[in-house]
Chain A
Amino acid sequence: MLLRLRRSIDFSKSVVWVTLGAFVVFVLLPTFYLISYVFLRWNEVRVEVFANPIIGDENWKQILKVLFFSFRLSLSTVAFDLVFGIPLAYVLARKSFHGKSLLEDIVTLPLVIPTSGFGFATLITWTTVAGIGGFLGLGSGLIPLNTVIPIIEVPFVLFIVHVALTFPYIVRTIETKFRSIDITFEIASRTLGASSLTTFRNILSPLSVPGIFSGSVLAFARSLGETGATLIVSGVSTTASVAIVRWTSEFKLATASFMGSLLVIIAWVIILPAELYVGRGARSFSIPYRMPRSLSNTLMKFERFASRRATYIKDFVPLIVVAATVVVPIVVVLNSVIVYWSTDPYTGKVEGGVLYQLFGPSNYFNSVLRATSTSIIVALVSTYIAMCIAIPLAFIIERKRYGGFIRSILKVPLIIPTSSLGLSVLLLWGSSGFNVVGSGIWLIVLTHTVFSVPVIVESIIAAYEGSEIQMYEDSARTLGATAYNAIETVSLPLIKGGILTGFVLSFTHSLGETGATFIVMGRDITVPALVVNMVEALAIPAALFTSTYLIVLSLILLAIIRIITRS
């Protein structure tokens, strides 16, 4: 039956220490190793980057150019996200309607979708005849790959992909914040005569600023670090994270590490103050500026009009954005697999068909099978290790005073460029470092553990904070349960939904992870990495099949999460 552990105090202390130790070794160290690597090998780095005997400080100039481009891309992405994300967050937080859970799933999708597969889907949607171009009867892609958006000077397809991948961060963070604000405040404002738009401006917005800020920071960092999809759609442009992959493959390790460290430091620098600001219970933010009365009266008149007549705009426009960036590419890719199944529909050539590429001379099907088994093993093992660390870690975060600090640090592995992470793990555990494992499946497992832990922890914490676990535990303790008993019989069952969700999320994420895997995989290829290879080898139908296969797998897993949370 139940073990009644008498020395519960000693037990819990050792659990805490072991968990923290595992956390430091498996999660923190890899995240920050890159920086220490650069420090230790500063001379090497300095020479290669700034005082290269052949090209002078050309590498440094490259770094700067790439960095500025990335910043421009990410900032414009976040701005776009905010404009359309805030109304969507409001709708999701406050309204109920048929199909709402489906919408929530579609919004969440980019968080776990295999980035390379998604990048590929977006690529063919906008730039090839298999996508929108063909649908409109243009006979070719809608726009060339390297079309640039004026003013911000950012490639369109790249921009769209980044918007799709960062949108959930903004929407979900702000939605959670909106939800946490008692709706009674808004009702009170309405009873006092304010229209719903005026209420949004005066009441909801100031109270949500911490959430909006935190969501923007997360989205910005995510965009900065996005690798997998970017590898596929970047065309002639280079983002910072893509540069890392390229330089690593060219063995310019010092430059790559320097770039990687810079990105980690930047992520660290923007996240930490943001978390401190939000964490210190910053409850609201009001600009001390009082509008002149005539302006404010006109504004309120407009808000009153818009609240009555134009609310549907806010309901529908974000949906169009979500549809265009997420739904359409998935539909296109699914459709294309069918269309391209046996032959290329435009040339009629069997060689251009999916079947031929899979089972013909190139025999990609074999590679797909092998890659699948690699991916699944990696996902299972890394998720398991991550669970062992994440469950006790979640409890530590909720109970200890330093818990908030740990929770903030945990956000870093989620947003540093996956290529940085890969490089860091490679240098730490690989042949250049402690030489624990060589490149290959075990290194991939170690890499995936790093970002799986935060995913599971956040899931558990969401479930923990949603239920009043502390109260139930206190009850159980005074009824005679030891601390361990209380957790086992009361707390864990109450958060098991969170644990399961975390498991599935982490598993799915691992299946689709590209950027870091690419760097550490050696000969053991995972499915998303395979897609990248296929694209580079111009085996488009094969890439089509593999991306679809990956995406469908993720969709099924997400549906499983939905079923778990509903029960």
Chain B
Amino acid sequence: MTRARNAGTTFKPSALSHPKRTEGHSFLLSGVREGAGTVPEKRGKTTSRRLSPATDPEVTRIMKLTVEELKQKAIELRQTALTMIYEAQSGHPGGSLSSADVIAALYFREMNIDPKNPKWEDRDRFVLSKGHVCPILYAALALRGFVPYEAIHTLRQYGSPFQGHPDMKKCPGIDISTGSLGQGLSCAVGMAIAGKRDGKSYRVFAMLGDGECQEGQIWEAAQAANKYRLDNLIVFVDDNNLQIDGTCDEVMPNLDLAQKFEAFGFETWRIDGHNLEEIVRTLDEVKSRKNGKPKCIVYKAVKGKGVSFMENVADWHGKAPNEEEYRRAMEEIAGGLKP
């Protein structure tokens, strides 16, 4: 395996130098800070391939970005996640790209969180039940200032806050460790019950994969969300119809996931997971629905979204791009999503 950076370096935030800036590249959109999306000239040098923060980390509790700003943020998230996976030569690009737009809306508009106080007890919670797509979550945490941005160069390395799957003990801003599919929703339900019982106004967001919904525990958790009237629980399902062994329809048909959640007592929405106007509108609507019903937003998504050769290709579930693929991918992402 080739590693773009010196493998095995222990992550020490204080010891990391600030990334050197390099010339901006033509494929970068204006507004993406120069250096973001920098493509290495040659393997082996460490200075030229580092990204720098795309924006200064925000420390306010809720960031209220506009839809246009969120679109820009989604580009930064995709580029950051892909850079992490490329440098680590390991990780899951497909699902990271498919959930980028929802993550942008959650972390830069919706969630009430404080990077300076990641364990703030009144914070909104986020449970990435499909833990393998963590590069996109790490990108959000890095861009939001939970973790020094430089940490993106340490994905999957010894001592990194960015473990192969989310580890709440190692990474600030991770509300529960995940990685074994099917378990996160139960944990989210536990957090939401605690919120209700303690009279707190925080909300719990959970993100599931459609393939993950083949796990029985998801439905055990769903029935409990109904019983305990958890309208503070908002479940996103990434409906990309791909899993490792093929399409969900081939491997194990999910039928209509929105209908299933509805049968379990949820209030459901079906939206386009790459349309930020729609994502934002839906989140605004969800907020007003304090009716005792847990929420489920099934968003149609394209695995690998934003990179033409990764889109809808199951093989890109857990594979890192090579240098040429990375370069092409970064250019395409910089162009924004095609309508």
Do the two shown chains form a genuine complex with each other? no
